[in-house]
């Protein structure tokens, strides 16, 4: 496999991981909002907020890596 094909495969994997991360974030935020609307502010609510912040960080890292790999394809 050529170098460009390897980079494209990694880029595709990063994009899939980003899509899954966005899906998890949407589901988590939806659940947090539902708990808030029902007046259930407990440890699970706060854990969900912490998890959402963590997922946003993961998405940011994935976006940075996608940007790097895209530039790497341009250099090849």
DSSP-derived letter for residue 38 is T
Kindly give the confidence (pLDDT) of every residue in the chain, 76 residues in length, as a single tens digit, with 9 standing for 90 and above.
678 889 899 999 999 999 999 999 999 999 999 999 999 999 999 999 999 999 999 999 999 999 999 998 887 7
pLDDT at 72: 86
Note the Cα 54 to chain centre separation in Å: 9
Residue 48 contacts residue 28 (beta carbons within 8 Å): yes
Residue 48 contacts residue 41 (beta carbons within 8 Å): no
The Cα angle at residue 68 between residues 6 and 74, in degrees rounded to 5:
65
pLDDT at 61: 97
């Amino acid at each position: 496999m050529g170098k460009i094909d390897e980079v494209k495969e990694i880029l595709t994997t990063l994009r899939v991981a980003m899509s899954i991360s966005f899906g998890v974030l949407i589901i988590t935020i939806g659940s947090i909002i539902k708990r808030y609307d029902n007046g259930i502010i407990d440890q699970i609510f706060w854990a969900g907020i912490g998890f959402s912040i963590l997922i946003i960080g993961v998405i940011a890292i994935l976006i940075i890596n996608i940007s790097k790999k895209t530039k790497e394809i341009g250099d090849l």
